Structure 1
């Protein structure tokens, strides 16, 4: 049975983001916390006469927005938002380790430091405060010196077994690393956003509701908050520009698929 004209929309939608020109899929979202389609316009009031009453009201300069809140982080989505696609491959990554000196006056790092990046510190017994910085040299004769072979650091015998060493260095990560780089000159390009949710009516019908946002420019602002007890959320918001559809400048279409049942293969859910 067809969906009634009067319906309730009670849930979030899933959506896909495509390149505006090529229609290549950039990323998919089936985990959004909220999705908002919004329009606004300016109102011009023409006044005149005794008391300066409003004589004519007209609207102009319509704008449209797509806003979403994402409780999971997709690095592909970050790349689209920041204007530089996420790249998979080996990358330079930072490392911080706190290690316990063994009876052989050695510690073993998790990774191999890149040349010129290693810093080594002997710590106080509280495991936090720095006692002294160790310099590369000959630990056999130099009290505050260390040597490194591969991943193994050797320190002077004055740093006894059980002492704590803190090391900072950069290393080359594995091939599956996702790199999202924020630059001064890269900004997002236009994209196309489509999605599907569902509507309910008082007769018990449940049908998909689709939408198309034809020409969207992701907003470039970015904030990632690392906070105990809370998951980081990323907004993916866009300002829309009209696209010419059937001779009209169109921001978006909302498409209630009244003859279809939500849960069919077309909307990707089990019935």
Structure 2
């Protein structure tokens, strides 16, 4: 009787232990990649596509597996990838094309998915056009001179290639360059097409636009709002406009120096398009 009771107890302990063992095994088998979204789910769903499409670049998370991880792109001329300090995969596109991403954990388990670099899209919609002239102390001007200066500013605004309701569409065929289409916002004026290259710095993003052999340097800037309390968030302030700043000094410096007889070396004339800028997608 005692032996029978002992066997029943051992069987009971074994049955109770089974779910624990299976649970640990399931957890260890979790090894997949997921995308980061503005609203994340818990647990994060794995990437289900056989091929992932990206534009400029992306960040992928790793679920499960055993660190350290490695990431490798089959064709390094199309994209590059590395695992950062947070064990996220950082992918940067280099040119259009299809390749694959392979992620490997310390136990030798492998995830492989297709990777396709596609045309990225970005656009800027113009709401208004302004102009400013830097290098003139307006406090030293008389009323007649101020009127002449204002006339030059209005001329710069009126002669802008893009007016309100117009805009610029950027289509990337490489990481930082591609084709550009300009909608002028003027009646009976066709769209203007050209090419662009993009560079970024702390002061903003610069697009060098080439149309019919002529180059235009345009810088996108996010203007600071004055008198803003640090406790106020961007969302409280509402939409923040972007500035597209075009340096037009060479085009209009003779209009200004001829009126005021100032040194052109200290003069800077800018045309400012104010509007909204969509992120690269």
| TM-score normalised by L of structure 2 | 0.22
Where relative contact order (Cα < 8 A, 6+ residues apart) is larger, the structure is 1
Structure number with higher helix proportion: 2
* TM-score under structure 1 length normalisation: 0.23
